[in-house]
Chains A and B, each alone.
Chain A
Amino acid sequence: MADIKAGHLVARYLKEVEKIDMVFGISGGHIESILDGFTEYSIRTIDVRHEQAAAMMAHAYSVYTGRPGVCFLTAGPGFTNGLTGIANAYLDNVPLVVLCGRHPLRDDLKGALQEMNQIDMVKPITKWAATCYDARRIPEYMAIAFRNATAGRPGPVFLELPPDILNITIPEESAPMPIKVARNYAVVPADEELEAAAEIINGAKKPLFLGGTGVGFSACSDRLGEFVEKTGIPFMLLNYGRGELPDTHPLSIWDCGNVGLLVTLGQADVIVAAGLRFNWLFMSGDVIPGGAKVVRIDIDPREIDRNRRADAGLVGDVGSVLGRLMPLVEKKDHGEWVRTLRAASHAFIDSELKARVAPSDPIHPIRLVAKIQEVVGEDALYVIDGGDTSYFGQVGLFTREKAGVIGSASGLLGCLGTGIPFGIAAKLARPDKPVVVLNGDGSFGFNSMEFDTMVRHNIPVVVVVNNDCAWGMIKHSQEMSIGGDRLQCSELGIRRYDLMVEGLGGHGEFVTKDEEIVPALKRALESGKPACVNVMTDPSVTSPATPLFYQSLKME
């Protein structure tokens, strides 16, 4: 029988059992045998410039493909660098498989290079974390890791693989590949809860459907479409649920923006929340009027009554639950309610709507966003990363694509710097689509060295920098809290990020005037290279998200 280098078992499992074709990380001595396995089993590696970017790319790759993303980290600083990305996946409930090196078991407590207790550090931000101590059990541990990442509410898992087991050769038959079994099972809501939910929905006069990441991971476009069309319920899809139905669907209220959402929430009599947490962005449920009835759908029963008691709680996968609700709900037309909420919302964002169509000097961020939309269109993937930038991008960009508009920094971790890694993953997952990242200038700084990754791997993402020369959301918050004359650590300078990207081998554009935006974007897209369009925008503009952020931290 043939022998196998035990480190190769990792790649063999990924390829043969999970059908993984791409992984993200940085090389390192502790994981060399794993790396060689990637070569052996023809798994494409995207080697990055900082491990946090690798974790973020793998996270995003799972969002765009619907399959768990995989990253590899070397021991010590490779591990600690990856922690931010792992924490982000944990708070976003994203299936991420992290494979990590560690110091040799043989050298425990001897002062080995990069000796530290990684497991205890990573446990609070993973669903499952373990060390494999036996080369023969590597495939088994890999299977457990993947099961934990995807079962129930998804999340990141961490598997630590010491050199003692990676760097030995064992007989192949001693480490058989597990057979992946696709079990057909489902968590099903109770009949009385389904009936209660249907009664509430059928009796609604001013309903609203909110879908979150649970909608995205359910991949339930068809059922969701049938549900909203039968019930006539206007909807907004958020987080990784966005794009499961097109933003331009007649019942989607994304044209009303976040302000419209808050205004509408205040008037709705029934709210159906699916795969969505009532977290700080919903003021932990306080934005939902006391008199409104709430139907919650969630894969995790602990979410059903969290921050707001549900009038009906449906535990299960969103698509599956909607399928069970369909026969119970009545066909309705809420056209008048939709027209009313749309007109009211537009009245509240009147200035913003006007700013989109009027040339501005200095350039208003929403004007920049409107121009990106005009040039790139709805058949594209957008990633938005920043503070105020996130607001303008999310309300002003529309697509027909699944996960077409992702506010990568708008999750619970509020993790600036995610934009470029997410953009790279988007392009790798869907190479036929244009990918545009809208970055704040502050957030651009975190992972902009990944332009080198894009150049080396020929990943032509266009990054537009909304450059207000500041950590804008912080700066404007400080103006409200401590005063504009006492700004601290919130201002940046005029920087030629476009030249930096040119120096790395990409395409650069510098824009200071309204009329320059469209030609610059077109040149960047046509360059076929990773590109940076550095746009100087009005530093005085504040988004509605800023005062919300400021208020959320006010304690007296």
Chain B
Amino acid sequence: MKFSLLLFILYRKLKKAVKTNRAYRSHIGTVQLKILIKTADGKRGRLFIFDRGVLSTLTGGGHAADAALVWSDAATAFRVMASGSDEESFKAAAEGGLRVEGMAYYIQWFTDGIKLVMK
């Protein structure tokens, strides 16, 4: 539940940033990408759809995406994502708590954008 709420809040923050944060708007540019964050069982997740400067979303973990951040479970996902720490993500990946489906660089791009918004 906390994980789903975190994803919803993240979406709202990014959605707002698209309108108000010049740096973030520039970051997403005209990119067309679908980034999925989900649990490994696919039960929880959210799709972030970037389409030429417009951000929209779909809930759930079963969507097709260009890249997906796949968490072993919701508790790990919440703990690591809420920390906002690259080191925690690195540790989670090393311990089997996190893996990337698709191209890792897209995930890097997505998280770089989050950092711009949270600054």
Contact between A347 and B103, CB atoms less than 8 A apart: no
| A366 CB to nearest B CB, Å | 12
Given the contacts A259-B105, A344-B94, A351-B102, A483 and B87 also touching, CB distance less than 8 Å: no
Q: Which residues of B contact A479 (CB under 8 A)?
A: 32
| Interface membership of B56, Cβ < 8 A | no
Kindly supply a per-residue 1/0 record for chain A positions 244-284, scoring 1 wherever the CB is within 8 Å of any chain B CB and 0 otherwise.
00000000000000010011001100000000000000000
B98→A544 contact, CB < 8 A: no
Q: Given B26, B30, B101, which contacts A350 in the complex, CB threshold below 8 Å?
A: B101
B10 at the binding interface (Cβ < 8 Å)? no
CA A339 to CA B108, docked complex, whole Å: 22
> Using Cβ atoms and an 8 Å threshold, which residues of chain B touch A66?
none
User: CA separation between A266 and B96, bound complex, in Å?
Assistant: 19
* B107 neighbours in A (Cβ, 8 Å): 348
Interface residues of B in 61-112 (CB under 8 A from A): 86-87, 90-91, 93-96, 98-109
Contact A350 B100 (CB under 8 A): yes
Report which of B87, B95, B100, B109 forms a contact with A348, defined as CB distance below 8 A.
B100
Q: Nearest CB to that of A266 among chain B residues?
A: B86
Is B29 within 8 A of A547, CB to CB? Answer: no
Identify which of residues 334-357 in chain A touch chain B, using a CB-to-CB cut-off of 8 Å.
339-341, 343-345, 347-351
How far apart sit A344 and B108, CA to CA, in the bound complex (Å)? 14
Other-chain contact of B32, A267, A343, A350, A480 (Cβ < 8 Å)? A480
Q: Would you call A482 an interface residue if the criterion is a C-beta within 8 Å of the partner chain's C-beta atoms?
A: yes
Q: How far is the CA of A267 from the CA of B103 in the complex (A)?
A: 20
With A347-B94, A479-B32, A483-B52 already in contact, the answer to whether A556 and B100 are too (CB < 8 A) is no
In the complex, number of A-B residue pairs with CB atoms less than 8 Å apart: 70
A481 contacts the other chain (Cβ, under 8 Å)?
A: yes
- Per the bound structure, the CA–CA distance linking A343 and B96 in Å amounts to 8
Evaluate whether A351 and B101 lie within 8 angstroms (CB atoms) in the complex, with A267-B86, A341-B94, A344-B90 already known.
yes
Instruction: Please give me the residue from chain B that is nearest to A267 by CB atom.
Output: B90
Docked pose: A349 CA to B109 CA in angstroms: 15
Chain A residues lying within 8 Å of B94, measured Cβ to Cβ, are: 339-341, 343-344, 347
Chain A interface, >50% SS class? helix
B10 smallest CB distance to A (angstroms): 20
Contact of B100 among A343, A351, A554 (CB under 8 A): A351
Contacts of A542 in B (CB 8 A): 103
CA distance A547 to B100 in the complex (A): 16
Size band of the interface chain A makes with B:
20 to 34
Tell me the bound Cα distance from A91 to B44 in angstroms. Answer: 50
| CB proximity of A543 to chain B, nearest CB, Å | 8
Q: Is B31 an interface residue (CB 8 A)?
A: yes
By size class, the interface of chain B is 20 to 34
Question: Which of A339, A347, A349, A547 has most chain B Cβ within 10 Å?
Answer: A347
Q: Is A187 positioned at the interface, with any CB of B under 8 Å from its CB?
A: no
A533 to chain B, nearest CB (A): 26
CA distance A266 to B31 in the complex (A): 25
- Answer yes or no: A548 CB below 8 A from chain B CBs: yes
Q: In the complex, how many angstroms separate the beta carbon of B105 from the nearest chain A beta carbon?
A: 4
Q: Which of A348, A483, A484 contacts B104 (CB 8 A)?
A: A348
| Across-interface contacts of B30 in A (CB, < 8 A) | 480-483
Residue contact B93 to A344, C-beta cutoff 8 Å: yes
The contact of B87 among A267, A341, A350, A481, by CB within 8 Å, is A267
- Chain A nearest CB, measured from B71 CB (Å): 11
In the complex, chain A residues whose CB is within 8 Å of the CB of B90: 263, 266-267, 340, 344
A310-341 near B? 1/0 per residue, CB < 8 Å: 00000000000000000000000000000111
A291 to B16, CA, bound (A): 32
Closest to B106 in A: A547
Residue on A nearest B66 in the bound complex, by CB: A542
Among residues 538 to 556 in chain A, which have CB atoms less than 8 Å away from a CB atom of chain B? 542, 544, 547-548, 551, 554, 556
The interface residues of chain B lying within 8 Å CB-to-CB of A339 are 94
Chain B positions 30-61 with a Cβ under 8 Å from a chain A Cβ: 30-32, 52
A480/B102 in contact, CB under 8 A: no
B residues in contact with A340, CB < 8 Å: 90-91, 94
- Which chain A residues lie closer than 8 Å to B101 at the CB level? 350-351
Q: Which residues of A contact B106 (CB under 8 A)?
A: 547
Complex Cα distance, B87 from A556, in Å, reads: 29
Kindly identify which residue among B29, B86, B104 contacts A554, using a CB–CB cutoff of 8 Å: B29
Interface residues in A476-507 (C-beta closer than 8 Å to B): 479-484
B58 to chain A, nearest CB (A): 21
Known contacts A480-B32, A481-B29, A556-B26, A347 near B96 by CB under 8 Å:
yes
| A-to-B contact residues, CB < 8 Å | 259, 262-263, 266-267, 339-341, 343-345, 347-351, 479-484, 542, 544, 547-548, 551, 554, 556
Sample (15) of A-B pairs whose CB atoms are under 8 Å apart:
A259-B104, A263-B93, A340-B91, A340-B94, A347-B98, A348-B93, A350-B99, A350-B101, A351-B101, A351-B103, A481-B29, A544-B103, A544-B104, A548-B105, A556-B26
